[in-house]
Structure 1
Amino acid sequence: MNKNPNLKVIVTDLDGTLLNANHLIAPYTQAIFQELHQQGYILIVATGRHHLDAMQLTNALGIPLYLVTSNGARIHGPNQELLFTFDIASEAVAQLLALDIDPSITTVLFKEEFWYTNKENQKLNSFQKEMHYPYEIVDYPTLTNLSAIKILFVDEDHDKLLQLDHQIKALHSSIFETSFSLPICLEIMDKRVDKSFAIAKILELENSSFAETICFGDGFNDERMLLQAHKGLIMQNAQQTLKDKLHHLEVIGTNEEEAVAKYLETEVLCKVEKG
């Protein structure tokens, strides 16, 4: 029997949430999610990562789940079938790249099979233990097709990214939504899609709703899903500004402590009686 009869759906972010410090899903977390699957919960991983990258990580769980990637621009089903796709138009990306962007900032465009970048960035590369989603260094002004699944700006100096964020928000009739998944990562999406938009599509397919959902996250790209969930939980290692803004939500432990799995084992999973 479900320990929480009104709870049917578990949603979690990856980086800073389900993944450990080595950007992997640890064995204890794998075991808990396998038990959640056995007990009939609908499982959704919602991440800013590209689907090729995210699939390699979530395959470690060894269970069927829904995968929301690129902050909602792609949805894949339990058999890794593509259910929804959305790209930012080339003209809109060109408008964004025409801004006065500090040349030290790494600019990334997520494409379908690879990603474009204006420079090598070892910090960014470290998020992939194996290069399942390869990159290509390009000179953006020479490209004719700039359509992208998502746009990402990376820099160790958060203030530089804040200045760029202000520039983007000042664009007349901007179609872009900006969020900091990490202080060093400014993510750009089309306003028409985000994680909560994609999760709502999955919930509709499953005849469910956010009222039956628990969500875990650590970044501003998780904000809407955390607010819409029946219960939203924030990681201790989340940005302090996010914790301050969503101060009414419960804060659990860190990703390094596998706090998501510990919470689910204690508060969600039914104990199996042994005869």
Structure 2
Amino acid sequence: MIKANTKVIISDLDGTLLNQHHVISDYTKSVFQELHQQKYLIVVATGRHHLDAMPLVEKLEVPLYLVTSNGARIHSPEKELLFSVNMESELVKSILALDIDPDITTVLFKEEVWQTNIHNEKLNSFSKEVTYHRELVNFEELEDFEAIKIFFTHENQEKLMALRDLILEHHPETFNHAFSLPICLEFMDKNVDKSHAIAKILEKENLDFSHAISFGDGFNDEMMLVTSGKGLIMGNAPDTLKNKLSHMEVIATNHEDGVANYLSDLLLKN
């Protein structure tokens, strides 16, 4: 039944379609090329900026819709910008004015650069090809705070949870937020979510979520997973997500080409 109804493949990138080296494997590429040949619509939905994500998904060598910055941008298979929304400058400024732990790395996703207050080598390692450039700044000296999203990271998740609670205390209804990883907290415009962006794509293609199978490993994938006809959680996802979505099937890890193997078994093998 799932196979007969599936027309759309939706996948997150980091921890999902990308392996532990932050690249798409040759095997995953071959599976997605076969899915394209069989006319499946492919959507990649990521928290990454579009300049960062585009070189990664080009490895697949198939046309696809690209949802980036957790849904703040949609690009067509022809790389045309279809949708965009930013956070207002004054609202971003009000977050940065809070008493944020100085050990937390803060990043503003801008259109052409990402602005940060700390040199974070681990953060830099997520990009093999530098297409989205970093700019070290003093946030107290900035004038334009308009951003696609705000990203916070620290190895101690409790510090990020305290920051989340602090921001929500001051702005209970203003933003959408999610943990893309246990050590990565992201705040976006209140209307931004991967599922909202994907819904726009499906409407454009005269389809709906019942036709979709989706894969993810983070809380920024939650609505996408629960809304899809079939949602699959990666084996490497945090236990907190697996426990919250305990009714969902858990598949192999991204290290094991979990997405490609699942799709090959379900859709490509007779």
**TM-score normalised per structure 1:** 0.96
Shift of 1:174: 3.6
Deviation per CA, 1:118-154: give whole Å up to 9, x if none: 0100010000012110010001111111000111001
Letter in 1 for 2:47: G
- The 5 Å alignment of 1:137-148 reads 137-148=136-147
Cα distance in structure 1, aligned partners of 2:19 and 2:238: 16
For residue 78 of structure 1, what is the aligned residue in structure 2?
Answer: 77
Structure whose residues are more often helix by fraction: 2
- In the superposition, the TM-score normalised over structure 2's length comes to 0.98
Q: CA deviation at 1:270?
A: 5.0
**Matched-pair contact (CA < 8 Å) for 2:2–2:230:** no
Shift of the 264–60 alpha-carbon distance from structure 1 to 2, 3 Å rule, reads same
**Is residue 126 of structure 1 aligned with residue 133 of structure 2?**
no
Cα 1:95–1:253, aligned 2, differ >3 Å: closer, same or farther? Answer: same
Q: Which moved more, 1:164-173 or 1:62-71?
A: 164-173
Partner SS for 1:180: strand
Distance 1:245 1:157 in 2: 21
* Map of 1:244 onto structure 2: 243
Contact 1:168 1:174 in 2 (8 A): no
Residue 155 of structure 2 corresponds to residue 164 of structure 1: no
State the identity as a percent: 60
Q: Which amino acid aligns with 2:64?
A: L
Task: Give secondary structure in 2 for the equivalent of 1:170.
Answer: helix
Q: Which residue of 1 aligns with 2:181?
A: 182
Residue pair 2:29, 2:60 contacting (<8 A) in 1 also: yes
Letter of the 1:38 partner, please give it: Q
Give the residue type in structure 2 aligned to 1:133.
Answer: Y
Q: Which ranges in structure 2 are unaligned for 5 or more consecutive residues?
A: none
TM superposition shift of 1:33:
0.3
**Which amino acid in the other structure matches residue 5 of structure 2?**
N
* Pairwise CA distance, 1:173: 4.5
Aligned residues: 270
Deviation of the 1:5 alpha carbon: 2.4
Rounded to whole Å, the distance in 1 between the matches of 2:66 and 2:118 is 29
